[in-house]
C-alpha cells in the first residue's frame, strides 16, 4: 500500500492573469506538476479583461474618424456617422469572452485544475478558499497583479477607474482624466478619439514621468494640438456632484467640470487580505511582495510574479517571470527573468515607443551622443495635417553602443518592438548606419541620422 501524496498540489497559483496562467501551463505541461489555480474574477487578468486588450480595441475604434477625414484628402468620398457605443461595447464583451474561453481551454488542455473562487494563503503550504476549504501545496505562487489607486479625497466615490471604463452605459460628453502616467494618457487619447471632450489633469509638471523628456514633451504637444486640454500642476482636492455634472476642486483654486471623472493615478500591488504578513513574506514600501531574482519570497515555498512584485509592470514581463519560475522550480532549469532593455509602448495618439535608457539616464552614467529627428510624415502631410514624428537614438560616446531608442508617432509601438532587438543585442551606431534604409518609410530615419544633435553627460 502506497502512502498518499503529502500535498494536494505540487503548485497552487493564486491569480489567473498572464503571469499565473503561463506559470501554471508550463509547470503542468512541461514540468509534470499537478497544478491548481484560483481566480476570483474573470480568467485573463488585468491585461485581457480590463487592460491591454480592451484598451487597444478602443484605441483602434477612436482612430477611425481621423482616418476617414484623411481618406477624403486622398480622394475618397466618405463621411463619418455617429459612433455607436453600445454596439462597440457588445462586440468588445464578446471578444473578451472569446479570449477568456481560450485561456480556460489552454489551462484545461495542460491539465491545470481551475477553481473560480477567491483564495488566500493560510500557511507556508496552505491555501484557504472562500468556501472554507483548505488546500495544501508544495509550492504557492502569488500572481494577483495590481489594482487602481484612488486618493482618499472627498467625493472619491464619484469617480471611476480603468476597471469600469469598458462597461459604461454611455460615453460622456465631457471627461476629466486625473493622472499623468501611461494609463491616463492612453484613456485621454482614446476618449478624445471617440468624440469626448477631454481634460487631462496631472499634479506634476510633465506627463509620463520616467520616459525620455524630449519624447514625452513631443507627445504632450501633439495631444494638445489634437484638442486635449492638458492641465499640469493641477491637483484635485475634492469631487462634488452638481447640476452641471461633477465639479473637481483644484488645490490652486478654481475647479474643473465633467460628466465623468476617471482616476488613473497609478496602480498598486494587489496584496490586501492575502494573509502574507502573518507568514513572514516581506512586503516592500510600495506594498509589493519582495522577491529575489528567481521570484522567491522570504518564505521558501512561496513565490510571486507579475505586477504584485512591482518590478516592471508589463504583461510580457509577467509572462517571462511566470515562465522563468516554472523552468526553475519544475523543469530543473534555473532561470532568471531578464529585466534589462525591456521595450514599452504608450498607445496614445500619437503612440510613444521606448527601449533602453532615456537621455537623462544615459547622461547620468557618462558621455553620450544624442541623435534626434523631428519631421512631418508623408501620410498625414499629404492630408494637410501638421503631425510630426520624433525618432531618437541615445549612443554611448566611447563604445558607440546604442543605449536607447525613442519613437513618437503612428506605428511607434510596432517599430520599437523591432528596434528593441537591435538594442538588446548590443548594436552600435555603426550597425544602424550600415543598414540600408527602406524608402519611403518613417522608420528609415533610424538608419539615416548621421550626425549627433548634441552630446550630453560627463566623460
SS3 breakdown of the chain: % helix, strand, coil, rounded to 5? 35, 25, 40
Q: Is the pTM of this model over 0.85?
A: yes
Q: Is the pLDDT of residue 1 over 50?
A: no
Taking 50 as the threshold, does the pLDDT of residue 4 lie above it? yes
Q: Reply yes or no on whether the pLDDT at 278 is more than 50.
A: yes
Q: Which residues does 240 contact at the CB level (< 8 Å), separation at least 6?
A: 154, 155, 158, 246, 247, 249
The per-residue pLDDT for range 127-181, each reduced to its tens digit, is 999 999 999 999 999 999 999 999 999 999 999 999 999 999 999 999 999 999 9
What single string gives the DSSP state of each residue in 24-76? HHHHHHTT---EEEE-SS-TTHHHHHHSHHHHHHHHHHHHHHHHHHHHHHTT-
pLDDT at 348 over 90: yes
Q: Identify the CA nearest to 91 among candidates 51, 44, 53, 52.
A: 53
Quick one: pLDDT at residue 243?
86
SS3 227: coil
Going by the DSSP 8-state scheme, the letter that residue 158 receives in this structure is G
Q: How confident is the model at residue 353 (pLDDT cuts 50, 70, 90)?
A: very high
Q: Which residues are 344's β-sheet partners?
A: 354
Q: What is the mean pLDDT of residues 107-129?
A: 97
Q: What angle do CA 279, 282, 285 make, to 5 degrees?
A: 140
Q: Are 404 and 393 in contact (CB under 8 A)?
A: yes
- Burial class of residue 404, CB neighbours in 10 A (0-12, 13-18, 19+): buried
Query: What is the C-alpha to C-alpha distance for residues 261 and 259, in angstroms, rounded to an integer?
Result: 7
Give pLDDT tens digits for 82-96: 999 999 999 999 999
In this predicted structure, the answer to whether residue 7 has a pLDDT above a threshold of 80 is: yes
- Tell me the pairing of strands 126-129 and 119-123: antiparallel
Find out whether 361 and 372 touch, Cβ atoms under 8 Å: no
Model pLDDT, residue 3: 53
Unique residue bearing C-alpha cell 543598414: 435
User: Could you give the angle at which helices 85-110 and 52-73 cross, rounded to 10 degrees?
Assistant: 140
pLDDT over 80 at 455, yes or no: yes
Do the strands 113-115 and 245-250 form a parallel or antiparallel pair, or are they unpaired?
Answer: unpaired
pLDDT at 203 over 80: yes
Average pLDDT over every residue of 431-449:
97
Evaluate whether 160 touches 259 at the Cβ level (below 8 Å).
no
DSSP E strands in 259-304: the ranges are: 260-263, 267-269, 302-304
**Sign, CA torsion 22/24/25/30:** positive
Measure the CA–CA gap between 224 and 263, rounded to whole angstroms: 20
Confidence (pLDDT) at 95: 96
- DSSP assignment string, 163-211: TTGGG-SS--SEEEEE--SHHHHHHHHHHHHTT-EEEEE-SSSSSSTTS
Q: What does the pLDDT read at residue 368?
A: 98
Q: What is the pLDDT of residue 244?
A: 85
State how beta strands 134-142 and 302-304 pair. parallel
**Cis peptide bond upstream of 440, omega within 30:** yes
Q: What is the overall mean pLDDT for the chain?
A: 96
The answer, yes or no, to whether residue 355 has pLDDT greater than 80, is yes
Percent of the chain topping pLDDT 90: 96
| Contact present, 220 and 206 (Cβ < 8 Å) | yes
Catalytic residue numbers? Answer: 439
Return the ∠ at Cα 289 (arms to 285 and 295), rounded to 5°.
135
Strand partners, 229: 199
CA distance 99 to 91: 13
Domains, the chain = 9-146+268-330 (3.50.50.60), 156-265 (3.50.50.60), 344-451 (3.30.390.30)
pLDDT tens by residue, 279-311: 999 999 999 999 999 999 999 999 999 999 999
Range 227-232 average pLDDT? 98
Contacts of 443 (CB under 8 A, 6+ apart): 411, 415
The answer to whether the beta carbons of residues 308 and 145 sit under 8 Å apart is yes
Three-class DSSP labels, 344-357: EEECCCCCEEEEEC
Q: Which cell goes with 329? A: 522550480
Amino acid at each position: 500500500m502506497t502512502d498518499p501524496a503529502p500535498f494536494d498540489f505540487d503548485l497552487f497559483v493564486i491569480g489567473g492573469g498572464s503571469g499565473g496562467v503561463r506559470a501554471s501551463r508550463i509547470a503542468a505541461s512541461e514540468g509534470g506538476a499537478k497544478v491548481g489555480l484560483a481566480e476570483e474574477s474573470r480568467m485573463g487578468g488585468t491585461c485581457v479583461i480590463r487592460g491591454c486588450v480592451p484598451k487597444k480595441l478602443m484605441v483602434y475604434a477612436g482612430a477611425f474618424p481621423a482616418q476617414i477625414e484623411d481618406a477624403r484628402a486622398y480622394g475618397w468620398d466618405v463621411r463619418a456617422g455617429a459612433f455607436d457605443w453600445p454596439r462597440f461595447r457588445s462586440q468588445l464583451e464578446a471578444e473578451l469572452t472569446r479570449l477568456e474561453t481560450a485561456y480556460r481551454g489552454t489551462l484545461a488542455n495542460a491539465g491545470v485544475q481551475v477553481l473560480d473562487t477567491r483564495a488566500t494563503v493560510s500557511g507556508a503550504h496552505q491555501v484557504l478558499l472562500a468556501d472554507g476549504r483548505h488546500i495544501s501545496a508544495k509550492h504557492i505562487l502569488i500572481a494577483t497583479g495590481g489594482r487602481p489607486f484612488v486618493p482618499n479625497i472627498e467625493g472619491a466615490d464619484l469617480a471611476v477607474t480603468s476597471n469600469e471604463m469598458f462597461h459604461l452605459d454611455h460615453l460622456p460628453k465631457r471627461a476629466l482624466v486625473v493622472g499623468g502616467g501611461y494609463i491616463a494618457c492612453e484613456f485621454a487619447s482614446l476618449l478624445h478619439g471617440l468624440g469626448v471632450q477631454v481634460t487631462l489633469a496631472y499634479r506634476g509638471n510633465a506627463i509620463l514621468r520616467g520616459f525620455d523628456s524630449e519624447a514625452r514633451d513631443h507627445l504632450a504637444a501633439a495631444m494638445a494640438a489634437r484638442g486635449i486640454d492638458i492641465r499640469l500642476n493641477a491637483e484635485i482636492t475634492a469631487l462634488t456632484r452638481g447640476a452641471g455634472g461633477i465639479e473637481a476642486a483644484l488645490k490652486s483654486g478654481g475647479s474643473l467640470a465633467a460628466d465623468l471623472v476617471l482616476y488613473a493615478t497609478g496602480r498598486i500591488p494587489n496584496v490586501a487580505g492575502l494573509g502574507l504578513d502573518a507568514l513572514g513574506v516581506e512586503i516592500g514600501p510600495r506594498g509589493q511582495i519582495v522577491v529575489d531574482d528567481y521570484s522567491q519570497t522570504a518564505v521558501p515555498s512561496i513565490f510571486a510574479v507579475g505586477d504584485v512584485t512591482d518590478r516592471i509592470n508589463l504583461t510580457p514581463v509577467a509572462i517571462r517571470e511566470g515562465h522563468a519560475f516554472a523552468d526553475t522550480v519544475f523543469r530543473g532549469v534555473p532561470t532568471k527573468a531578464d529585466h534589462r532593455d525591456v521595450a514599452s509602448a504608450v498607445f496614445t495618439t500619437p503612440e510613444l515607443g521606448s527601449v533602453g535608457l532615456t537621455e537623462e539616464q544615459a547622461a547620468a552614467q557618462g558621455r553620450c551622443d544624442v541623435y534626434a529627428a523631428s519631421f512631418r510624415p508623408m501620410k498625414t502631410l499629404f492630408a494637410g495635417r501638421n503631425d510630426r514624428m520624433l525618432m531618437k537614438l541615445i549612443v554611448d560616446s566611447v563604445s558607440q553602443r546604442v543605449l536607447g531608442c525613442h519613437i513618437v508617432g503612428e506605428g511607434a509601438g510596432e517599430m520599437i518592438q523591432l528596434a528593441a532587438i537591435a538594442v538588446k543585442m548590443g548594436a552600435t551606431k555603426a550597425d544602424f548606419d550600415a543598414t540600408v534604409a527602406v524608402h519611403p518609410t518613417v522608420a528609415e530615419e533610424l538608419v539615416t541620422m548621421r550626425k549627433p544633435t548634441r552630446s550630453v553627460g560627463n566623460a
